């Protein structure tokens, strides 16, 4: 992460970094994870950029948000991802919106039980729409809408019309490049999520293992290139 921030700074890129707190020690020693996050946030400040905390399995959600809140209050240059398929997310957004920063809304990629997460595509899409509306209602928050779904994208564009504050779309590198270009052509902001470093293949296979349905998603993207 620090090497990536160094590259962003030295090349003057309009980019930020996303971190997974389990890679910093969350779940083993949360205080160590907090220290590492503090170091990364300070380095990001030196590089004049921001840090987004990825959301992982629901077992880590409360700890992730607690570590985010502490770091954001100290540094003011962080954001966090929230997942539309988790039933708790509307309440989480209400709480963390007071911190400002940026909030990335995604559907969610991990297998979760019906006790904590919506299970059907229809339920997840409906939740995503409600949450995107909720995010657009906070003037002091930068909403980042992470989706490749045209239904969600088109609805967000309509909902965001006339919004005074900044917001952006986010998509994965290499997925729906034509749509990315099209949205930029409409004057909308697009940020691309790019794996950094040599371990791109383990990253890809891990995404497949987390949720096998992702395999068809990536396959369609490859065939469409």
Q: What residue ranges do the domains of the chain occupy?
A: 2-197, 198-225
220 annotated active-site: no
Contact assessment for residue 10 and residue 46, using Cβ atoms and an 8 Å cutoff = no
Pick among 3.40.50.1820, 3.20.20.220, 3.20.20.70, 3.40.50.720: CATH of 2-197: 3.20.20.220
Band of pLDDT at residue 82, cut at 50, 70 and 90: very high
The catalytic position among 30, 38, 54, 129 is 54
**Mean pLDDT value of segment 30-51:** 97
Q: What's the pLDDT at 209?
A: 60
pTM for the structure as a whole: 0.89
Q: What's the pLDDT at 136?
A: 92
Name, in order, each residue with C-beta under 8 angstroms of 112's C-beta and a sequence gap of 6 or more. 57, 58, 85, 86
54 annotated active-site: yes
Alpha carbon distance 49, 77 (integer Å): 7
Contact assessment for residue 18 and residue 55, using Cβ atoms and an 8 Å cutoff = no
Cα–Cα nearest to 170, from 194, 151, 141: 194
The catalytic position among 29, 30, 92, 104 is 104
Band of pLDDT at residue 220, cut at 50, 70 and 90: low
Region of poorest pLDDT, from 63-67, 107-111, 149-153: 107-111
């Amino acid at each position: 992460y620090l090497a990536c921030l160094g590259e962003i700074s030295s090349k003057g890129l309009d980019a930020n970094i996303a971190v997974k707190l389990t890679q910093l020690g969350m779940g083993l020693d949360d205080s160590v994870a907090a220290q590492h996050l503090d170091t990364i946030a300070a380095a990001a400040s030196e590089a004049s950029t921001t840090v987004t905390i990825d959301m992982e399995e629901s077992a880590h959600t409360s700890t992730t948000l607690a570590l985010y809140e502490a770091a954001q209050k100290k540094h003011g240059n962080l954001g966090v991802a929230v997942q539309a398929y988790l039933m708790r997310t509307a309440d989480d957004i209400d709480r963390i919106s007071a911190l400002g920063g940026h909030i990335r809304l995604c559907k969610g990629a991990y297998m979760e039980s019906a006790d904590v997460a919506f299970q059907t595509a229809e339920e997840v899409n409906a939740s995503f729409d409600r949450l995107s509306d909720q995010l657009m209602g906070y003037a002091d928050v930068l909403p980042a809408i992470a989706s490749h779904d045209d239904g969600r994208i088109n609805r967000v564009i309509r909902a965001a019309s006339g919004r005074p504050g900044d917001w952006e779309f986010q998509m994965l590198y290499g997925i729906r490049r034509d749509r990315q270009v099209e949205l930029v052509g409409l004057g909308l902001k697009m940020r691309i999520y790019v794996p950094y470093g040599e371990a791109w293949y383990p990253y890809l296979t891990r995404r497949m293992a987390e949720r096998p349905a992702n395999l068809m998603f990536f396959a369609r993207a490859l065939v469409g290139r």
